[in-house]
A and B are shown apart, each in its own frame.
Chain A
Amino acid sequence: MPDATPTLPRKIIQAERPWWRLDLADAWAHRELLWLLMWRNVTSRYAQMALGMVWAILEPLALLLTLVLVFGFFVRVDTGNIPYPVFVFAAQIPWLLFAKATMNAVGCLQEHMALVSKVSFPRLLLPFASVFRDLFDSVILVLILIVVGMFYGYFPTWRLIVVPALLLSVTMLAIAIGLWLAGPAVRMRDVRPIMLIILQMGFYFSPILFPPSLVPPRFLPIYTMNPMYWAIEISRWAFLGRPVDLSPSFVMALVVVVIAFVSGLFVYAANERAAVDVQ
């Protein structure tokens, strides 16, 4: 028989799976699916909306306008010599990316349950696919900030080359949180509202609306352990040339992100199989 049996893929279905098996090869074999899921998330979001892609920027710009009016015009936060609109905008880009991507990554299993419970595919793709839309939106915002920046006299410099790395590492942090919490979020519906509260608090605690010089110096060692502190400061450095002092806690924040991400991969793999049973 002209048989290709040896080359056929062999699948074993069994109860026990060693904790260290991530099936990365399977995920890689489905990389086309990752692209399609990403684009599905982007295009389906703006389908049947009269303003279409404008929505990607409308919401962040409306928020920005409000913040500038309240904190720049009424409260008059002291930002040194940097105009308040660009001061907030540069901080808002990494923060919005982080907040939205985290919520989407945490909810990725629950949001795609219709798919997860009916089709077999590497679920590891989901947290990655679900944050792409936010990454896409933030790239648009970067372009707008460059234009707005030029209006205030901040012209693009060589420093902008760190922006892609910045956006990617913020996304990685969001994915790491998603990897840890996506499984529990299916079992306990409380996880997402709790995340929402934490992110809201984080928005006011992080140095978005004010410069970190307003934080009492004795709290700074703890304050700078927040990875988003560094994301915001580096973003202001890249867009506005505001000096940033990379202290040891920057390295620590980076290490924390990497550890959370790698360990998250294993946590997710362990949780993902049970998610269908407890949906």
Chain B
Amino acid sequence: MSSSAVVRVEGLSKRYLVPGSGTAEPLSGSPAMIWLKQRVPALRRDREKDWFWALSDIDFVLERGEVLGIIGRNGAGKSTLLKLLSGIVAPTSGRAWLTGRVGSLLEIGTGFHPDLSGRDNVMLAAALLGVSRAQVLRQFDEIIDYAGIGTFVDVPVKRYSSGMYMRLAYSVTALLRSDILLLDEVLAVGDAEFQKKTKRNVDSIAHDGRTVLFVSHSMASIKGLCTRCIWLDRGRIIRQGSAEEITDLYLQTLVKHTDEPAGPVDIPHAPPRVDVTRHHGYYTVVRQQPVISWVETVNSDGTPTRLFRTGQPLRIRIGFSQRRKRCDYLAVAFHTMDDRRLTMVFSLGGGGLGSLPVEGVAECLIPELRLVSGDYALIVEAGATADGVAEPIDSVSDATQVRVSLDDYLGYPGLTRNQGYIAQRSRWSHKMDPPPEAERATAVPFGPA
């Protein structure tokens, strides 16, 4: 073990009991024993219980001053990893060694009491981190300054704006000297100003020789801040390396919805039809009742594919079956690969489906695809409307993915790297009279006299 290793993780695993998840072995024993075990779960043996492995066999080593990015889809185990390392949750097996004081910010403002003032909450948050009163008082002004709450120090935090609340929570964790900082999605909140400030702060923390572990869905933040990156999928590390390399790979690839160990598959080579019956709804568990059974993307010729061109039609075929007629709509949402929603279309209104039968195949036609070059994830949903609000019954996140190329839709090639997400045609014209012919001729500097 290298002496400068600040965080060392070996075979860290965590399982949870999730009754009904169907991972248990069949009950064994005499018929009477089985009868009893069905009614008294406490009698079941370990392997007869429904375990869910949130994390399995995580290994990595971090040196002083490293910033580790942790990426992965929802439910991949990122937050569980941080909870284990901060000591909130005990692992099922494996070990981790952390050298130095650990500060964690797993959710903005935890430990804050709404009725207490900002000052009292800073004291409380510091005490939770195990920081002495004397040290907090030394750094108190700095914390208040950084949070920018000024004269609100003695006001109960429930009267704070959400921005002030967040800034205060972040500054307490980040500024009080902790050697290892665990941050979960802190950059996803707050205004642009706060995010910029936080990024600078994380940079300077790493520069100080402190170590940061950082969970984010924003690949831009991971690229900008992290020296290294690990990619988690279903509780395992499937790739690790430089932040640049891993985030690029992550954005280009997708994870198969099967129970076999996941591996990255390139979008164009993935089958266009995806069976989603066994696809977990992840932590946004809105698969109350599986309705959607498969999803297929089809191009303008009627050929199933995952490759599309801007301006061309895109058809999404959805196979569904419901036990009772409960659903009255289907919907498709387009997400970026880092999970930002771009748009959502519903099978309602004039061009919609009307009512949904118990079983069937529906097709959604996007007559003119308006996304720029890139990869997109499709969320497919079935649900019922009540009082003008869509209530999802089955929502399959990341059901399928497509690759779009802009080609010549705009009339000119993609000129910059960052084109946004929406392909918008434009028409330009001069609105000031062009100068007269004669003047223009004399204006030519190198023309013949």
Partners in one complex: yes
Q: Which residues of A contact B (CB under 8 A)?
A: 5, 8-15, 17, 29-30, 32-33, 36-37, 40, 43-44, 47-48, 114-121, 273-274, 276-278
Q: A30-B130, A40-B124, A119-B111 are in contact. Are A9 and B100 (CB under 8 A)?
A: yes
Q: How far is the CA of A48 from the CA of B130 in the complex (A)?
A: 30
Q: How far is the CA of A173 from the CA of B156 in the complex (A)?
A: 35
Q: Are A118 and B98 in contact (CB under 8 A)?
A: no
Q: How far is the CA of A276 from the CA of B80 in the complex (A)?
A: 12
**Chain A residues with CB below 8 A from B87, complex form:** 11, 13, 120
Q: Are A118 and B127 in contact (CB under 8 A)?
A: no
Q: How far is the CA of A43 from the CA of B156 in the complex (A)?
A: 12
Interchain nearest-CB distance for A138 vs B (Å): 23
Given contacts A11-B97, A118-B111, 18 further A-B contacts (CB under 8 A): A5-B3, A11-B99, A12-B97, A13-B91, A30-B127, A32-B133, A36-B123, A40-B113, A40-B120, A43-B116, A47-B115, A47-B156, A48-B115, A115-B110, A118-B110, A119-B106, A120-B88, A277-B89
Q: A5-B3, A36-B127, A118-B107 are in contact. Are A15 and B94 (CB under 8 A)?
A: yes
Q: How far is the CA of A270 from the CA of B16 in the complex (A)?
A: 18
Contact residue range for chain B? 35 or more
Encode B6-23 as 1/0 by CB contact (under 8 A) with A. 000000100011000000
Query: Which residues 292-337 of B sit at the A interface, judged by CB distance below 8 A?
Result: none
Q: How far is the CA of A276 from the CA of B120 in the complex (A)?
A: 26
Partner of A13, one of B84, B106, B107: B84
**Chain B residues with CB below 8 A from A13, complex form:** 12, 84-85, 87, 90-91, 95-98
B86 adjacent to chain A (CB < 8 Å): yes
Q: Are A119 and B98 in contact (CB under 8 A)?
A: no
Q: Are B99 and A10 in contact (CB under 8 A)?
A: yes
Q: Are A121 and B91 in contact (CB under 8 A)?
A: no
Query: Which residues 194-251 of B sit at the A interface, judged by CB distance below 8 A?
Result: none
Pairs A-B, 3 closest by C-beta atoms:
A33-B127, A118-B110, A120-B87
Chain A minimum-CB-distance residue to B125: A119
A-B CB contact pairs (8 Å), 27 listed = A9-B99, A9-B100, A10-B98, A10-B99, A12-B95, A13-B85, A13-B91, A14-B96, A15-B92, A17-B90, A36-B120, A36-B124, A36-B127, A44-B115, A44-B116, A115-B111, A116-B88, A117-B88, A118-B88, A118-B106, A118-B107, A118-B110, A120-B102, A121-B130, A273-B90, A277-B89, A278-B17
Q: How far is the CA of A116 from the CA of B90 in the complex (A)?
A: 12
**Chain A residues with CB below 8 A from B85, complex form:** 13
B93 adjacent to chain A (CB < 8 Å): yes
Partner of B94, one of A8, A14, A116, A273: A14
Chain A minimum-CB-distance residue to B102: A11
Partner of A8, one of B90, B100, B110: B100
**Chain A residues with CB below 8 A from B16, complex form:** 277
**Chain A residues with CB below 8 A from B116, complex form:** 40, 43-44
Q: How far is the CA of A5 from the CA of B91 in the complex (A)?
A: 26
B66 adjacent to chain A (CB < 8 Å): no
Q: How far is the CA of A168 from the CA of B202 in the complex (A)?
A: 47
**Chain B residues with CB below 8 A from A40, complex form:** 113, 116, 120, 124
Query: Which residues 372-389 of B sit at the A interface, judged by CB distance below 8 A?
Result: none
Interchain nearest-CB distance for B221 vs A (Å): 22
Q: How far is the CA of A8 from the CA of B96 in the complex (A)?
A: 16
Q: Are A10 and B97 in contact (CB under 8 A)?
A: yes
**Chain B residues with CB below 8 A from A274, complex form:** 90
**Chain B residues with CB below 8 A from A12, complex form:** 95-98
B101 adjacent to chain A (CB < 8 Å): yes
B401 adjacent to chain A (CB < 8 Å): no
**Chain B residues with CB below 8 A from A11, complex form:** 87, 97-99, 102
**Chain A residues with CB below 8 A from B113, complex form:** 40, 44
**Chain A residues with CB below 8 A from B120, complex form:** 36, 40
Interchain nearest-CB distance for A76 vs B (Å): 46
Q: Are A15 and B93 in contact (CB under 8 A)?
A: yes
Q: How far is the CA of A156 from the CA of B422 in the complex (A)?
A: 83
Q: Are B95 and A276 in contact (CB under 8 A)?
A: no
Chain B minimum-CB-distance residue to A122: B130
Interchain nearest-CB distance for B273 vs A (Å): 39
